[in-house]
Amino acid sequence: MGRIVRTYKSKLGRAAVWASRVIVLCLLSTVLNAQTSVPAAETEQPVPILTGNAGFFTNVNGGETELVPSINPVLLVPLGDRWLVESRAEFTGEFERPDGGGPYGGKVEQEIDYLQLDYIANRYLTVTGGRFLTPFGIYNERLYPIWIRSLQPTPLIFPLGTGSSDGGMLRGGFSLNPKVNLNYATYFSTLSTVNKFESGRTAGGRLGFFLPGARIEVGASFQKELQDERANAFGFHFAWQPAAIPLNLRSEYARSHDGSGYWIEAAYRLSQVPFWQKAMRRTEIVGRGQQLFAGEISEDDAKEYGLPDVNTRQGDFGLNYYVRDGLKASASYSRRFNSDGNVNLWTLGLAYRFAFPLGRVGEQ
Amino acid sequence: MNTRVAILTAVLALVSSVYAATPPRKSENDRASISTPAVRSSAEADAMRIQGEQRFHANCGRCHTAPQKFPPRMMATIVRHMRVRATITDEDMRLVLFYMTQ
């Protein structure tokens, strides 16, 4: 009887110890969550915004002139402290003279680049669902808008691994220590043939390290196709903005079964030039070198994706003048070399970024 | 004995975690500065502004030129958008928002 009681007490004791361990672990996670799930810092309640950009560019590609008006509205609707609905549409006209002369005519492309719901779970994690820009490299997510990009022609490798995806994504950025920030994004995309919401079945992610002191970012991207050839794609990116001079260096490399290649771009603001300072500090010169190695891709697919189907080299030179906040005049010249024939590409135009509140904002 | 220590530890942890997880009660005066980092003096505000400017140039300047300052309620939305888009850290976002709304 005594043995049974001792055994019972012993089992009860062990159970209590284990129960207390479990409780402590749960409570520790609660405390951690309480410390990390502080709502986003906002001095005021955020208001819905309609922002985006509009532009008008004249492109001359190998002697053929094309007029390209575009408008890209971005709708931002914050909900509570942690939620955000964001969407960007793209309306781009491509107007050319018909063969034999006549007035300019053409079509207006309409796209929904993203329509997503974000939940900021804590300082480490944001959960996204819906249609989002595929996080592959940095150009697609960060540099694509016409008021941001330094050169209007997109890089040759831009179609590799990028575009939009329909599915779910986990992402975030946080400090590893005072000298290093880590940012990441990982996602799954489902196959969709719905008009304006087309996407492929893929999974992938991006990992980046940003050194705020040196203003250097390096990172890598990976994508696995879960349909058709089930091909892999990967890429690397690098960005450096030295504090001493107004220079912005960026570069990407990408490789997939459709092709591979790289681009290196330098944008230099002339604010340190000692003469005509009023004009010079608004002026930026840009240079980019790039190369694409064509992959296993048909001529039709290459045309659809906007990829050259032969090995191509290209040099780009640009000039930007920032007229005022959000308004930029841009010009660029590119020389393209490939076996289809070397051509000159010119662009000239204006890009404007707008932002309107969709509610009362009070005094600034 | 072990059982008592374990139970006592669990109770203490429970009480402390509930205390830690309870958000501070906000007064009406606090509502205008929801989750804003507490600024105790003008020197502290200046330091935060300088920090915010540095974070602004380090983070935002990587992709685009400095925009004008928008009203605070617009900036709160824009900064939330950029936090997601550019994976800006929580601390950077707070300091940039403080800088851009001063």
Asked if residue A42 belongs to a domain, the reply is no
Q: Which residues in chain A have their CB less than 8 angstroms from residue B94's CB?
A: 41
Q: What ipTM did this prediction achieve?
A: 0.83
Tell me how far CA of residue B37 lies from CA of A170, A343, B82, B90, in angstroms.
Answer: 27, 56, 19, 12
pLDDT in tens, A116-132: 999 999 999 999 999 99
What is residue B68's predicted lDDT score, i.e. its pLDDT? 78
Q: What percent of chain A has pLDDT over 70?
A: 87
Work out the pLDDT band at A22, boundaries 50, 70, 90: very low
Q: Are A84 and A71 in contact (CB under 8 A)?
A: no
Q: Phi-psi region for residue A243, left (φ > 0), alpha (ψ -120 to 50) or beta? A: alpha
Asked if residue A233 belongs to a domain, the reply is yes
What is residue A360's predicted lDDT score, i.e. its pLDDT? 86
Higher-pLDDT residue of A296, A150: A150
Count of domains forming chain A: 2
pLDDT in tens, A242-283: 989 999 999 999 999 999 999 999 999 999 999 999 999 999
Q: Is the pLDDT of residue A291 over 50?
A: yes
Q: Are residues A125 and A236 in the same domain?
A: yes
CA torsion A117→A220→A182→A180, rounded to 10°?
Answer: -150
Yes or no, beta carbons of A76 and B81 under 8 Å apart: yes
Q: Are residues A350 and A214 in the same domain?
A: yes
Q: In whole angstroms, how large is the CA radius of gyration of chain B?
A: 20
Q: Model's pTM, two decimal places?
A: 0.81
Asked if residue A40 belongs to a domain, the reply is no
Q: Which helix (H) or strand (E) segment is A163 a member of?
A: none
Q: Are residues A190 and A161 in the same domain?
A: yes
Q: Which helix (H) or strand (E) segment is A59 a member of?
A: strand A49-61
pLDDT in tens, B22-71: 444 443 333 333 355 556 678 888 889 999 998 998 899 888 887 778 89
Q: Is the pLDDT of residue A288 over 80?
A: yes
Q: Which residues in chain B have their CB less than 8 angstroms from residue A41's CB?
A: 35-37, 90, 93-94, 97-98
Residue B26: phi and psi, rounded to 5, are -95, 140
What is residue B8's predicted lDDT score, i.e. its pLDDT? 55
- SS3 category, A50: strand
Yes or no, beta carbons of B20 and A51 under 8 Å apart: no
For A86, nearest residue in chain B (alpha carbons):
B81
Asked if residue A312 belongs to a domain, the reply is yes
Work out the pLDDT band at A298, boundaries 50, 70, 90: confident
- Mean pLDDT of all residues in A198-217: 95
Sign of CA dihedral B8, B14, B20, B22: negative
Q: Rounded distance, CA A166 to CA A130, Å?
A: 6
Work out the pLDDT band at A42, boundaries 50, 70, 90: very low
Alpha-helix residue ranges (DSSP H) falling in chain A: 2-36, 277-280, 299-305
Alpha-helix residue ranges (DSSP H) falling in A235-297: 277-280
Flag the least confident range among A31-35, B64-68, B83-87: A31-35
For residue A81, which of B26, B99, B55 has the smallest C-alpha distance?
B26
Q: Is the pLDDT of residue A5 over 50?
A: no
Q: Are residues A259 and A138 in the same domain?
A: yes
Cβ within 8 Å of B, A 171-200: 171-175, 181, 183-185
- SS3 category, A210: strand
Domain residue extents for chain B: 39-102
Q: Are residues A28 and A56 in the same domain?
A: no
Cβ within 8 Å of A, B 56-75: 58-59, 61-65, 67-75
Higher-pLDDT residue of B40, A15: B40
Asked if residue A29 belongs to a domain, the reply is yes
∠ CA A114-A117-A118, rounded to 5°: 110
Work out the pLDDT band at A31, boundaries 50, 70, 90: very low
Cβ within 8 Å of A, B 73-102: 73-81, 83-94, 97-98, 101
What is residue B5's predicted lDDT score, i.e. its pLDDT? 56
Count other Cβ atoms within 10 Å, centred on residue A320.
22
What is residue B18's predicted lDDT score, i.e. its pLDDT? 40
Amino acid making up residue A332: S
Tell me how far CA of residue B19 lies from CA of A21, A22, A32, A35, A116, in angstroms.
Answer: 19, 19, 13, 12, 36
DSSP codes joined into one string, B9-71: HHHHHHHHHHHHHSPPPPPGGGGGGTTPPP--SHHHHHHHHHHHHHHHHHHGGGTSPPPPPPP
Amino acid making up residue A299: E
Min Cα–Cα distance to chain B from A30, Å: 7
pLDDT in tens, A318-353: 999 999 888 999 999 999 999 988 999 999 999 999
Question: Which residues constitute the domain of residue A26?
Answer: 1-35
What is residue B9's predicted lDDT score, i.e. its pLDDT? 54
Asked if residue A41 belongs to a domain, the reply is no
Q: Is the pLDDT of residue A301 over 90?
A: no
Sign of CA dihedral A188, A194, A196, A199: positive
Q: Which of A20-29, A91-100, A182-191 is the most confident on average?
A: A182-191
Q: Is the pLDDT of residue A240 over 90?
A: yes
Count other Cβ atoms within 10 Å, centred on residue A119.
15
Q: Are residues A19 and A63 in the same domain?
A: no
Asked if residue A363 belongs to a domain, the reply is no
